[in-house]
Amino acid sequence: MDDPRDIASLDRLFNPASVAVIGASREPHKTGHEILASLIRGGFEGKIWPVNPKADEIEGLACYPDLTSIGQAPDLAVIVVPKPLVKGVVEECARVGTKSAIIVTAGFKETSEEGERLEREILRTAQRAGLRLIGPNCLGIMVPKNKLNASFGGDLPEPGVIGYFSQSGSLLASIVDMARAEGIGFSKCVSMGNKADIGELELLRYFGRDDDTRVIAGYLETITDGDAFVREAERISRTKPILLMKAGETGAGREAASSHTGRLAGTQQAFEVVFERAGIIRCESIRRQFDYARALADQPLPAGQRVAVIANAGGPGIMAADALEGEGLTLARLADETQARLRERLPNAANLANPIDVLGDALADVYEFALGQALADANVDAVLAILSPHAMTECDATAEAVVRVAREARGKPIVACFLGAGRVARAVEILHRGRIPQYESPESAVAALRIMAKVNRWRNRPKRIVRLFPVNRRKVEQVINRTLRRGQSEISEMDASDILEAYGFVTPRGQVAASADQAANFADQIGYPVVLKIWSPDILHKTDVDGVKQGLAGRQDVMDAFDLMMYRIPKKRPDADILGVLVQETVAGGSEVYLGMQRDPRFGPLMMFGMGGIMVETLRDVAFHLAPLTAEEAREMLASTRTYQLLRDTEDEGRPAVDLDALAEGLQRLSQLVTEFPQIQEMQITPYVVGPEGTQPIAVDARIRVAEA
Amino acid sequence: MDDPRDIASLDRLFNPASVAVIGASREPHKTGHEILASLIRGGFEGKIWPVNPKADEIEGLACYPDLTSIGQAPDLAVIVVPKPLVKGVVEECARVGTKSAIIVTAGFKETSEEGERLEREILRTAQRAGLRLIGPNCLGIMVPKNKLNASFGGDLPEPGVIGYFSQSGSLLASIVDMARAEGIGFSKCVSMGNKADIGELELLRYFGRDDDTRVIAGYLETITDGDAFVREAERISRTKPILLMKAGETGAGREAASSHTGRLAGTQQAFEVVFERAGIIRCESIRRQFDYARALADQPLPAGQRVAVIANAGGPGIMAADALEGEGLTLARLADETQARLRERLPNAANLANPIDVLGDALADVYEFALGQALADANVDAVLAILSPHAMTECDATAEAVVRVAREARGKPIVACFLGAGRVARAVEILHRGRIPQYESPESAVAALRIMAKVNRWRNRPKRIVRLFPVNRRKVEQVINRTLRRGQSEISEMDASDILEAYGFVTPRGQVAASADQAANFADQIGYPVVLKIWSPDILHKTDVDGVKQGLAGRQDVMDAFDLMMYRIPKKRPDADILGVLVQETVAGGSEVYLGMQRDPRFGPLMMFGMGGIMVETLRDVAFHLAPLTAEEAREMLASTRTYQLLRDTEDEGRPAVDLDALAEGLQRLSQLVTEFPQIQEMQITPYVVGPEGTQPIAVDARIRVAEA
């Protein structure tokens, strides 16, 4: 939930009536000069106070020796003094009552432990005074609408609807530079630097509430409070698209640091899952982020995925059609009436089916007519307008026509791809000014359309309802606490069975026998073949001590196996307290799958589903999703694996179909368990044996690792 | 092989001393005017003769009523007359002795059957006279070095080393326009149109020999003689990189048209396999093709894949490192001495390990020093130079430094990524002029480096040596001929066994029995369990008539199964000539895989390997490769599947490792069979049972479909 105080303090940050630049400099090329010059050049209409004890005047403004001598508290202080002086300046800000400061100076957490300590001290000083900080080690902020350029990131971009936060100042400067060249506007740009105080979470919340921001974009290297960030993103992305670049996740070192079962869920996968769940669109490059942001900022969302392509040549139309299919969109099937109307006006050789080809000598009026017809067709959700510059092509007039048609489009998006460079340069400008997203290639245009369709699907998806099963929480709590009290982290098989049963899983029938004779009697009751397992709280890995014997088909086999275990295992593990041998039913006849969970340190419980054995280990056919799972999400997880196809296909092979609802329920129960017990770090139920519809799946074995939460 | 006559005729086409424009027009915006104007504007230094009976003079040049009245044969005729007149003009060209013509006029094969007929007639006329044709339905050609712009594709690009052919004129015009804007040069640009005469194959051969062309690029929608094209590409790509865009392959219709087993090998897959084999780099967009072409044209190839990244900020360096890992390149480990030297000159806070961060306030001299050090390091194969425009960054001077360092690089490539737009615009120009490939984002730069490394690997790969096994060709020929003579296309199981044995495959032991008693006797000799199969040349799908019975464990079972088949099957198939029942050994204990071939209509035999059953059908875990296979290629096919991992892992599970060399040999033998018999359209050996090392794999069953080749 938003903290109204945070929102108010960021409102103050972005809307100051006065700015002091502490460490302002007369020397061009110094950061302290550049920031002051940027403020002035940007046209900021509030008060600007340079502060520097060694100057009387800078850039025509009276200069103050210190903050106090200004005589009133600036709304915003930009701090560019050398590192040793920063703490003193922050204290002065606190004293005079300034409520927002940007620390541009570097050399803190990013360079040394001493710097990190200093950064923490500065933060404490600020927090005590209710002073909010951007940085340190940042470029500053830009608010084009307020003509506020409190940064050294270059000139202000145009005002617009994109809110941007960046963990790399240098990247932000490049993005703003590109945006200026392409006429893309921003509501706010924030270089977050070390994020000592204000970070991505708070900015996300703020942009979520900010009326000037309709698209949220950012570049992140680390996410500070992943869990909260995802929850906020999930909420905000229902109304505003969130576009993120996330870097720094493939480093060999970082991968190596992931846990044992990190073999399955790498860092990259965690981010993919988390972003997907939160409705965040992950962008693989600045260019892609631009391409998507422009489309989302300037055009309405398509209601579906049926795209009409209009071009004045065959090749680019074909490329677009290829790309549409590759991106999971569809080439709209034009209505007969649309084609009839096109036939009346277009030359004979023109292609009236989608992609529409108006031919190379088409003038702007013909293009406009065809575009209008395509857009009006009820079978069309979005239009891609392609133009190649032929000798007679009226590039500029066609661009104007596209802008005109788009104005009448009433809710359907148009994106453009005018191919070439010099010959379409002016046309591209016309498109940009007319808020038509223009792309260099059909593929990029189609990629943007895909994202628009995806955002639309995301907005319209039903509310998440997580089913809660009646369970025995108390029982699980006891088991976990007992395990932790003993200083252990792995839950024994005996206890794991109890946990599974407490959450409604069916486990194999079985009883612990104390003698060979008793074991054989139990086996008679259970029915052959049976499995024998050594039963000791001290032996976690039974197979290591030959403590599991399968496929025992008769009394004599059971008695032999019992006696051999009781004779041999105490020699191998004299320390172990052996309680007997478990005689267990052999579970057969179903398909063996794998349900798992691995708690991600940033985002929480990551659920996993796959087929047992080779399908998971070698083929990596695993689906991931964050818990808690809804029924739909559980079914989506199943459906996204190849394993699912195998399970479904059992019917074709003459075996009855696997009960997929029962399987999905298993995932939901596990999801509830790991959500309710944050102590569970890692859990695998394997094999989880699912039979045909109407039968209960059986959780044969489980490994659970716990830790103090 | 090159036909020297073809080379000579293309040489004439690209190097004319005189050009006639037939259908030249006075009216601006008419194609006939645009082409003439382009020729003049381009600065062509030979003779230019406009031909038009209705004009005396166009653009200051004397105009002729027809070709004959010029009085001498133009070296090149550009034909822009209306469609009905084209044939007459071509006849006139033939008469006067012109040897090259470009037919710009459209309305032939691409529009109607009548147009297709007319196109064929024109081609015959030209061929009889030794007149070579470009088009019809094309934009023309450009040869910048000769200042020859015989096209309406816009102004000439700079002279350069890229030879380009395009099946879409419109795309070519856009590419040339972009190239002009970015300073990319071409040796020749050809708009091929309908490819009535000169097509991609001949142009590929020509560019392969052309000293002015060092990089070959193109856009294709169809490949006319796929097999020959691939063979030529394979040869030429060893010295000149070939970059292709291939469109029009995902259409639902085209997919549906692929054959029955097209379920496995789609059109896309065939292209991937073929391009890979031929060393062709497939480009997914114009932008990528540009990016790659520029790198290959302007920089040497890296000897390995160790890349040093140098940047003046953290973020972009991290993005580059991520991209390197994603593209399979490696971040070079800088030598200690390099780092020591960097330490002497760079500020304390700079990052001396790769990616090197010289920090945001670094001036050009520091950047140049660091770049030079990185490039000199023996652990570095290529350098990526990233620059973000900070307030104090000397963008232009740094660009000049990069150009300077590259000049001293002696064989190591440098690519650049100067981020931003307006603030780096001049720097980007300096880089372009200095032949430093410059990219908009670190990801694009890294993608180009990957292609450079790939081209280098391709050039250095060993010569292909295909092993030929001694086989019994005569036997196979007999079987195929007999099958075709009977009007059949599927080879019976009996005959398939013969074919397999003739090519050195081991098949299961077995004998055909005529009575139940004889069947039981054979089974006694073979050893139980055995398989019984109905034996009839007329029954191809035995399981459809219950003609296969497995797992027969004793005499009585064999006799019962025999009698039941002989009693029931004649009732189901009274027409079938039943020769008896095959008693066959049960093959057990190995791993079952799938060897297959499917003949692609354009490229020839496409080999397939995968694991039997679900791994192929559901999981699509299949490797493809064009036959004939070398031993390395066969092993690469195996290694590229997940199936391979499973086979290799049998050892871990306590079973002996599968004999992978024997498996590769099976693929090579099949490759030889389908290469030597073009009649074989499709073949599957399944299961092919492979056991541990030293055992012979057994080809249990084969399906072979043949047709007249």
Neighbours of A389 (CB within 10 A): 26
For the ranges A252-256, B71-75, B631-635, the maximum mean pLDDT occurs at B71-75
Question: For residue A431, is it within any domain?
Answer: yes
Interface predicted TM-score (ipTM)? 0.77
Alpha-carbon gap, residue B607 to B605, rounded angstroms: 6
Query: A614 vs B107: CB contact, 8 Å cut-off?
Result: no
Distance set, CA B178 to CA A93, B172, B443, B447 (Å): 53, 10, 20, 20
The string of pLDDT tens digits covering residues A563-621 is 999 988 998 899 888 989 999 998 877 778 889 998 888 788 989 888 765 555 555 67
Neighbours of A257 (CB within 10 A): 10
Give the closest of A170, A314, A443 to B360, CB-based.
A170
Percent of chain B with pLDDT over 90: 63
The structure's pTM equals 0.82
Contact of A312 with A359, CB cutoff 8 Å: yes
Among all residues of chain A, which has the CA nearest to that of B446?
A: A285
pLDDT of residue A650: 56
Alpha-carbon gap, residue A658 to A644, rounded angstroms: 10
Question: For residue A475, is it within any domain?
Answer: no
Among all residues of chain B, which has the CA nearest to that of A106?
A: B349
Selection from B654, B660, B655, B657 nearest residue B641 by Cα:
B660
Total domains in the fold of chain B: 4
Residue A469 DSSP class: -
Question: For residue A479, is it within any domain?
Answer: no
For residue A513, pLDDT beyond 60: yes
Contact residues on chain B for A312, CB-CB shorter than 8 A = 170
What average pLDDT does the segment B546-564 reach? 90
pLDDT of residue A653: 54
Q: What is the CATH number of the domain that holds B692?
A: 3.30.470.20
Which residues in A85-223 belong to E strands, given as ranges?
100-103, 132-134, 140-143, 148-151, 158-166, 185-191, 215-220
Tokens read off for A212: 């000037």
pLDDT of residue A186: 98
Structural domain of residue B488, as residue ranges? 473-585
pLDDT of residue A291: 94
B106 touches chain A (CB under 8 A): yes
Contact residues on chain B for A649, CB-CB shorter than 8 A = 614, 618
List, in sequence order, the alpha helices (H) in B243-363.
252-257, 267-278, 286-298, 314-326, 336-345
DSSP string across A302-316 = PSSSEEEEEESSHHH
Question: For residue B465, is it within any domain?
Answer: no
Query: A318 vs B247: CB contact, 8 Å cut-off?
Result: yes
Tell which of B174, B354, B645 to mutate to test the A interface (max A CBs under 10 Å): B174
What average pLDDT does the segment B439-444 reach? 93
Neighbours of B128 (CB within 10 A): 9
Tokens read off for A432: 């940009």
pLDDT of residue B551: 86
Question: For residue B464, is it within any domain?
Answer: no
pLDDT of residue B639: 84
Q: Are residues B9 and B151 in the same domain?
A: yes
A193 touches chain B (CB under 8 A): no
pLDDT of residue B522: 94
Measured between CA atoms, how close is A503 to chain B, in angstroms?
A: 34
pLDDT of residue A544: 83
Query: B34 vs A389: CB contact, 8 Å cut-off?
Result: no
Give the closest of A248, A388, A391 to B31, CB-based.
A391
B85 touches chain A (CB under 8 A): no
A36 touches chain B (CB under 8 A): no
Q: Are residues A598 and A580 in the same domain?
A: no
Question: For residue B467, is it within any domain?
Answer: no
Last residue of a domain, one of A544, A566, A585: A585
Tokens read off for A662: 């029962």
Measured between CA atoms, how close is B492 to chain A, in angstroms?
A: 26
Q: What is the CATH number of the domain that holds A259?
A: 3.40.50.720
What average pLDDT does the segment A354-382 reach? 94
The string of pLDDT tens digits covering residues A531-542 is 999 988 788 778
Q: Are residues B280 and B310 in the same domain?
A: no
Phi and psi at residue B648, in whole multiples of 5°?
-65, -35
Q: Are residues B251 and B376 in the same domain?
A: no
Q: Are residues A307 and A282 in the same domain?
A: no
Q: Which residues are A150's β-sheet partners?
A: A141
Alpha-carbon gap, residue A293 to A165, rounded angstroms: 14
Which residues in A536-629 belong to E strands, given as ranges?
548-552, 580-585, 591-600, 604-611, 622-626
pLDDT of residue A613: 57
Tokens read off for B649: 């892992």
pLDDT band, residue A118 (cuts 50/70/90): very high
Among all residues of chain A, which has the CA nearest to that of B315?
A: A168
Query: A322 vs B423: CB contact, 8 Å cut-off?
Result: no
Q: For Cα atoms B544, B549, B552, give the angle at the middle one, nearest 5 degrees.
A: 175
Give the closest of B180, B284, B285 to A421, CB-based.
B180
Contact residues on chain A for B220, CB-CB shorter than 8 A = none
Q: Are residues B519 and B644 in the same domain?
A: no
A460 touches chain B (CB under 8 A): no
Contact residues on chain B for A254, CB-CB shorter than 8 A = none
The string of pLDDT tens digits covering residues A241-266 is 999 998 876 543 343 333 333 334 45
pLDDT of residue A1: 46
Question: For residue A465, is it within any domain?
Answer: no
- In B383-422, the residues whose Cβ lies within 8 Å of chain A are 388-392, 419-422
For residue B2, pLDDT beyond 70: no
Q: Which residues are A599's β-sheet partners?
A: A605
pLDDT of residue A259: 30
Size of interface A-B (CB pairs under 8 A): 216
Measured between CA atoms, how close is B413 to chain A, in angstroms?
A: 23
Q: Are residues A45 and A69 in the same domain?
A: yes
B645 touches chain A (CB under 8 A): yes
Among A477-486, A601-610, A639-648, B451-460, the least confident range: A639-648
B174 touches chain A (CB under 8 A): yes
Q: Are residues B277 and B332 in the same domain?
A: no
Measured between CA atoms, how close is B405 to chain A, in angstroms?
A: 24
Tokens read off for B7: 């080379």
Query: A251 vs B419: CB contact, 8 Å cut-off?
Result: no
Contact residues on chain B for A316, CB-CB shorter than 8 A = 168, 170-171, 174
pLDDT band, residue B255 (cuts 50/70/90): very low
Give the closest of A178, A250, A424 to B325, CB-based.
A250
Question: For residue B466, is it within any domain?
Answer: no
Among A100-114, B279-293, B688-702, the least confident range: B688-702
Q: Are residues B201 and B239 in the same domain?
A: yes
pLDDT of residue A246: 85
pLDDT band, residue B653 (cuts 50/70/90): low
Alpha-carbon gap, residue B618 to B643, rounded angstroms: 13
pLDDT of residue A2: 55
Give the closest of B221, B313, B443 to A284, CB-based.
B443
Residue B629 DSSP class: P
Contact residues on chain B for A284, CB-CB shorter than 8 A = 443
Q: What is the CATH number of the domain that holds A502?
A: 3.30.1490.20
B554 touches chain A (CB under 8 A): no
Alpha-carbon gap, residue A387 to A313, rounded angstroms: 8
Query: A388 vs B245: CB contact, 8 Å cut-off?
Result: no
Q: Are residues B332 and B414 in the same domain?
A: yes
Among A17-26, B506-515, B671-680, the least confident range: B506-515
pLDDT of residue B455: 95
Among A682-691, B32-41, B194-203, the least confident range: A682-691
* Residue with more model confidence, A125 or A183: A125
Element (H, E) at B593: strand B591-600
Distance set, CA B558 to CA A395, A419, B362, B582 (Å): 81, 73, 87, 11
pLDDT of residue B662: 86
Burial of B320 (0-12, 13-18, 19+ CB in 10 A): buried
For residue B284, pLDDT beyond 90: no
What average pLDDT does the segment B418-427 reach? 92
Last residue of a domain, one of A293, A311, A339: A293
Mean confidence (pLDDT) of chain B = 89
pLDDT band, residue A338 (cuts 50/70/90): very high
What average pLDDT does the segment B467-495 reach? 91
Tell which of A138, A158, A170 to mutate to test the B interface (max B CBs under 10 Å): A170
The string of pLDDT tens digits covering residues A380-410 is 999 999 999 887 789 999 999 999 999 987 7
Mean confidence (pLDDT) of chain A = 89
Contact residues on chain B for A178, CB-CB shorter than 8 A = 419-421
Measured between CA atoms, how close is A618 to chain B, in angstroms?
A: 7
pLDDT band, residue B615 (cuts 50/70/90): low
pLDDT of residue B454: 93
B441 touches chain A (CB under 8 A): yes
pLDDT of residue B655: 56
Selection from B18, B14, B293, B17 nearest residue B160 by Cα:
B293
Query: A441 vs B285: CB contact, 8 Å cut-off?
Result: yes
pLDDT of residue A343: 94
Query: B389 vs A322: CB contact, 8 Å cut-off?
Result: no
Last residue of a domain, one of A246, A267, A293: A293
For residue A550, pLDDT beyond 90: no
Element (H, E) at B386: strand B382-387
- In A227-256, the residues whose Cβ lies within 8 Å of chain B are 245, 247-252
Query: B245 vs A319: CB contact, 8 Å cut-off?
Result: yes
pLDDT of residue A254: 42
Alpha-carbon gap, residue B642 to B638, rounded angstroms: 9
Contact residues on chain A for B284, CB-CB shorter than 8 A = 443
Contact of B626 with B606, CB cutoff 8 Å: yes
| Amino acid, res. A461 | R
* Residue with more model confidence, A404 or B275: A404
Alpha-carbon gap, residue A154 to B122, rounded angstroms: 62
What average pLDDT does the segment A13-42 reach? 94
Query: A419 vs B389: CB contact, 8 Å cut-off?
Result: no
pLDDT of residue B434: 94
- In A272-301, the residues whose Cβ lies within 8 Å of chain B are 284-287
Alpha-carbon gap, residue B708 to A142, rounded angstroms: 74
The string of pLDDT tens digits covering residues B675-685 is 999 999 999 99
What average pLDDT does the segment A643-670 reach? 75
Residue A229 DSSP class: H
What average pLDDT does the segment B401-413 reach? 92
pLDDT of residue A263: 39
Q: Are residues B190 and B98 in the same domain?
A: yes
Query: B168 vs A316: CB contact, 8 Å cut-off?
Result: yes
pLDDT of residue A256: 32
DSSP 3-state assignment of A480?
A: helix
pLDDT of residue B262: 35
**Which residues touch B35 (CB under 8 Å, ≥6 apart)?**
B21, B24, B78, B80, B104, B140, B150, B151, B152
Alpha-carbon gap, residue B601 to B681, rounded angstroms: 9
For residue B258, pLDDT beyond 50: no
Q: Which residues are B534's β-sheet partners?
A: B581
Contact residues on chain A for B180, CB-CB shorter than 8 A = 421-422
Among A80-94, A687-701, B509-523, B676-690, the least confident range: A687-701
What average pLDDT does the segment B519-532 reach? 93
Query: B247 vs A322: CB contact, 8 Å cut-off?
Result: yes
What average pLDDT does the segment B507-519 reach? 92
Selection from A238, A172, A175 nearest residue A208 by Cα:
A238
Q: Are residues B287 and B311 in the same domain?
A: no
For residue B652, pLDDT beyond 60: no
